[in-house]
Amino acid sequence: MNMTGRGFFVKIQLDLRAVTCPGVWLCPNGKISLKINTLNSNRVSHRITPVFPLLFHEKFTFEKMFFHVISLTELQHSLEQEFFFAELVQWVTPSGREVILATFETNLVDLLYPTSCLKDQLARVDIDLLMESTKYFPGIIAPKIEVSTKTIIEGIIDINNIKTSGIHIINPKTINSKVLGCY
């Protein structure tokens, strides 16, 4: 069988819970949202009042087909080259002028499969992503994003004929995020 026609379809379900930063007061002029970019897709949360904790409670889905990737090891290397980027923005005017307050960036492997020093952690526990403040952020400490992820990886055979014969899924896997960090 020719393996070059294989690939993997990756679907990431991101549950954005909140952005927190205790003791910090944001400028009340303009709503706040979180812009997320990964797997060549952009999403923007709804705009909320600028008071910490910023409770979003939104779910986002990101999908990408990785063509000509024939093993999970190759897929892991491909995901190491993909980045997750988030910006905490304040919308100064209703017409769309924005101020970037903080940013976060990591590769997808580190986000989706965090290492942990703790054994036997439960899946679907929040991951805390510590942002990097810009000069416009009023606090001394940086905000953190609270998310959880669910990743679905589907092996696809014969991707060359997807349009004519449909997608053939082989052995789909679902992987949930675990806690980041060590005590």
For the record, the structure tokens of 93 come out as 């005017």
If DSSP codes are grouped into helix, strand and coil, which group holds residue 134?
coil
pLDDT in tens, 27-68: 998 999 999 999 999 999 999 999 999 999 999 999 999 988
Query: 103: which strand partners?
Result: 87, 132
Q: Residue 6: what pLDDT?
A: 81
User: What separation, in Å, do the N-terminal and C-terminal C-alpha atoms of the chain show?
Assistant: 48
User: d(Cα 44, Cα 53) in Å, to the nearest integer?
Assistant: 18
For residue 170, pLDDT over 50 is answered with no
Query: 86: which strand partners?
Result: 36, 104
For residue 115, pLDDT over 80 is answered with no
Tell me if 131 is assigned to some domain. yes
The DSSP H or E segment spanning 77 is helix 72-80
- For the chain, give the mean pLDDT: 83
Tell me if 50 is assigned to some domain. yes
Tell me if 133 is assigned to some domain. yes
Tell me if 179 is assigned to some domain. no
User: d(Cα 105, Cα 149) in Å, to the nearest integer?
Assistant: 16
Tell me if 54 is assigned to some domain. yes
Q: Which domain holds residue 96?
A: 7-156
In the chain, how many domains are there? 1
**What are the φ and ψ backbone dihedral angles of 72, each rounded to 5 degrees?**
-65, -30
Tell me if 177 is assigned to some domain. no
Tell me if 163 is assigned to some domain. no
Tell me if 167 is assigned to some domain. no
pLDDT in tens, 1-14: 444 578 899 999 99
**What CATH number did the domain enclosing 128 receive?**
2.60.40.150
- Side-chain-side CA neighbours of 80 within 13 Å: the count stands at 6
Q: Residue 34: what pLDDT?
A: 98
pLDDT in tens, 142-159: 999 999 999 999 888 765
